[in-house]
Structure 1
Amino acid sequence: MKPPIEAGRGLSTRLRTAKGRTTASQKWLERQLNDPYVRAAKAAGWRSRAAFKILELDEKYHIFKPGQRVVDLGAAPGGWTQVAVQRVGASGKVVALDLLPMDEIAGATLLQGDFQDEAVEQAVLEALDGPAELVLSDMAPNTTGHNATDHLRILGLIELALDFAGKVLVPGGAFVAKAFQGGTEREILNRMKRDFATVKHAKPPASRKGSAEMYVVAQGFRGQDGQR
């Protein structure tokens, strides 16, 4: 997939007024206005530019397959869920889960709740009508600006999502989660390597160059018996 960079290259849009805005919010808005992925997502009907990240990861690692059962953790606003629905087709099942309410997405089941809750986990499996073949997590913690603290927070989310994946994935399944540069904690990485046949780190082109964001792609889940 070619990144949607060509349109508008060399053009820059500035806000007409900064009245009532902080410097940080003004910079964020200007960045959004000048981001080709934001414009392309809007034109394509994706709910967020993040849709291109999972599309690019899929192009490289072939994450999606027709007929898959997919869980999207921390799904709001739904860009990854939209891509999942498109890629698995009518024969697949996609369950999107978030603490926040989401607008309906055709072809997906939307659940509101905490994936650490056993009742929510059961609701996910019931909605899928069986175990999952792919667990996605684009979750990120609220950042503090303190790199060490933020790194620990994202590692905590990865570990929780990995725990969930270990409960719901079928053997051979896959797990994709947001990480940060600086590496996945060795203990978590070793656990992934034990539980999955292959584990890769990737930074899709749609991730902003200045961002420390990366993704971990773990494929070939060994199943419950292979985890210990």
Structure 2
Amino acid sequence: MTGETIGSRRRSAVRLKMARKHKPSSQKWLLRQLNDPYVIAAKEKGLRSRAAFKLIELDGKFGLIRKGARVVDLGAAPGGWTQVALERGAARVVGIDLLDIEPIGGAVLIKGDFQDDSMPATLAEALGGPVDLVMSDMAPNTTGHTATDHLRIMGLAELALDFAFRHLAPGGAFVTKLFQGGAQGEMLETLKRRFAVVRHAKPEASRKDSRELYVVATGYRPEEG
């Protein structure tokens, strides 16, 4: 199911019952959720979140999830990307988050910090080999201040990239969320040195008013020595 077919769905708008019980900001969020075609489609397909469709689009475009791949999903809660990786043929998927994640058949879900010193041993046991794909849909709590929010998400993306450098197999891939802005130049230069191909994408499933985009890097080249 593509972003175009989902996004083009036409349904009668759902109205919020008992709206007076909710603050205006909550009313706006609830109405958007109730009328979002991706939220509706995710529920119909048994996916944990609408964000699953973003990975479906990225994988369809860039071929990130190979059959039999070992995949790590950073900031995995509630599990939508982990579900997609399994459904698309990954042999082993580890989802890591500071939050609890409801069990997903076929996945190893770890509650903890992916930067912990114990993580390499934990991953080695769970995956049985080096990682083929590191993916991160992590985003900070936004403040509304563009510069601050951009720096916050860059910090998360850089942590995810450092993790990828330490765990990816040669030829592996990396995908992470960013916000549109001017602070990612240094990171992109690093990606271009260490990966064969680096591209940007904004999936159809991303909300039109969102500044998010994804950077996709394939063909990992470990540093010699």
Letter of the structure 2 residue corresponding to residue 33 of structure 1: L
1:24 offset after TM fit, Å?
A: 1.1
1:19 offset after TM fit, Å?
A: 2.9
C-alpha contact 2:150 2:183 (8 A) present in aligned 1: no
1:18 offset after TM fit, Å?
A: 2.2
Kindly report which structure 2 residues correspond to 1:139-178, keeping only aligned pairs within 5 A, or say none: 139-178=138-177
Write the distance in 1 (CA, Å) between the matches of 2:107 and 2:28.
Answer: 34
In structure 1, the residue matched to 2:20 is 19
In structure 2, the residue matched to 1:4 is 6
Letter of the structure 1 residue corresponding to residue 219 of structure 2: G
Deviation per residue, 1:161-220 (Å, 9 max, x gap): 000000000010000001111256111110111111111110000000110011010100
State the TM-score, normalizing by the size of structure 1: 0.94
State the TM-score, normalizing by the size of structure 2: 0.95
Off by >4 Å, runs of 4+ in structure 1: none
Gaps of 5+ in 1: none
SS at structure 1 position matched to 2:213: strand
SS at structure 1 position matched to 2:7: coil
Kindly report which structure 2 residues correspond to 1:1-228, keeping only aligned pairs within 5 A, or say none: 1=2, 2-7=4-9, 9=10, 11-89=12-90, 92-183=91-182, 185-225=184-224
C-alpha contact 1:73 1:136 (8 A) present in aligned 2: yes
Write the distance in 2 (CA, Å) between the matches of 1:98 and 1:104.
Answer: 13
C-alpha contact 2:172 2:219 (8 A) present in aligned 1: yes
The Cα RMSD (Å) is 1.4
Letter of the structure 1 residue corresponding to residue 21 of structure 2: G
C-alpha contact 1:134 1:174 (8 A) present in aligned 2: yes
Write the distance in 1 (CA, Å) between the matches of 2:104 and 2:52.
Answer: 14
C-alpha contact 1:166 1:224 (8 A) present in aligned 2: no
Deviation per residue, 1:90-144 (Å, 9 max, x gap): xx11001000111100010011100111212321232111110000100001111
Letter of the structure 2 residue corresponding to residue 69 of structure 1: R
C-alpha contact 1:165 1:175 (8 A) present in aligned 2: yes
C-alpha contact 1:195 1:223 (8 A) present in aligned 2: yes
Write the distance in 1 (CA, Å) between the matches of 2:97 and 2:124.
Answer: 15
**Would the alpha carbon gap of residues 183 and 126 (structure 1) be closer, same or farther in structure 2, given more than 3 Å must change?**
farther
**Would the alpha carbon gap of residues 177 and 184 (structure 1) be closer, same or farther in structure 2, given more than 3 Å must change?**
farther
Deviation per residue, 1:37-64 (Å, 9 max, x gap): 0000100110100010000001111111
Between the aligned residues of both structures, percent identity stands at 59
Gaps of 5+ in 2: none
